[in-house]
Amino acid sequence: MIAYTDCMIDTTTTKFKENATYTMMDVYLPKNWKSLSLKKQKKLLDEMRSNLVIGSCSMDESPNVQAKNIAILAAETNNWKIFLKAHLDILNDNFERVAWSNMAEAYRQTYIQELETLNINTIDLILGTVFLYDNPAKNHYFGNIYRLSRAISEAQKQQEFEREILEIIEDNELDTLNRLRFTYLYLNYISYLEDTSIKNKKQKEFLERINTSLPNYYDFIKKSIYNNNEV
């Protein structure tokens, strides 16, 4: 999964150019952008990638708008490496802001279904960003568990995601830290499900599964999970 992530989200490319500077640029595309020549669209993309926009507060959508427009221009100019980086920043709400709170986060969409329509292996792509490991490749993409769990709850392939995550959690050869990260990914995913009956059922089944099928799963981890989740 990590290898697939590094292959798809090319670690030799960054969303912004190395010499990008912080600016208050207009992040919106010109109204006639669709009629621009390919050369001018590439120039516009280059300008977007040369200017770093910082949000003034959690409600400031400027960084999100800039990333969306970078993704749009990258797709139009067949620059898929940049497209994926911009799209995943939107999914993870991965932007710089002077001040941050979760007030506006609920309104910002993950757009995971747009990724799924591209017929790429979305499961390996997303889950590959969850693992922590020594000596990651420069520019390896690390995802935000809370945003990723919400995205999985909105995915068309929820059941496939569930199976992969549970296999990872139950893998005795995997280190405890990563198993714990995927445990919280799964529990947060459940919390985002809209149907209360399904949410409660899945939570109960998961906690019972932890208790019965993972006898070697450390007691302090099980205790932490049970203390934070009512069965």
84-103: pLDDT as tens digits: 999 999 999 998 887 666 66
Please name the amino acid found at residue 189. Y
Tell me the two tokens of residue 202: 């899945």
Q: How far is CA 150 from the centre of its chain?
A: 9
What was the pLDDT predicted at 222? 62
**Percentage above 70 pLDDT, the chain:** 89
Question: pLDDT at residue 217 above 70?
Answer: no
Q: Which of 23-27, 91-95, 165-169 has the lowest mean pLDDT?
A: 23-27
What was the pLDDT predicted at 223? 65
What was the pLDDT predicted at 136? 93
What was the pLDDT predicted at 24? 79
What was the pLDDT predicted at 55? 84
Number of Cβ atoms within 10 Å of the Cβ of 83? 20
Number of Cβ atoms within 10 Å of the Cβ of 17? 14
All structural domains of the chain with their residue ranges: 1-122
Q: Which residues contact 24 (CB under 8 A, 6 or more apart)?
A: 53
90 and 150 in contact (C-beta within 8 Å)?
Answer: no
For 39-74, the pLDDT digits (tens) are 999 999 999 999 998 888 877 889 999 999 999 999
What was the pLDDT predicted at 96? 83
For 131-162, the pLDDT digits (tens) are 999 999 999 999 999 999 999 999 999 999 99
74 and 118 in contact (C-beta within 8 Å)?
Answer: no
Question: pLDDT at residue 214 above 90?
Answer: no
Measured between its terminal Cα atoms, the distance across the chain in Å is 32
What was the pLDDT predicted at 220? 58
In angstroms, rounded to a whole number, what is the distance separating the alpha carbons of residues 88 and 143? 8
In angstroms, rounded to a whole number, what is the distance separating the alpha carbons of residues 62 and 56? 9
Q: What is the mean pLDDT of the chain?
A: 88
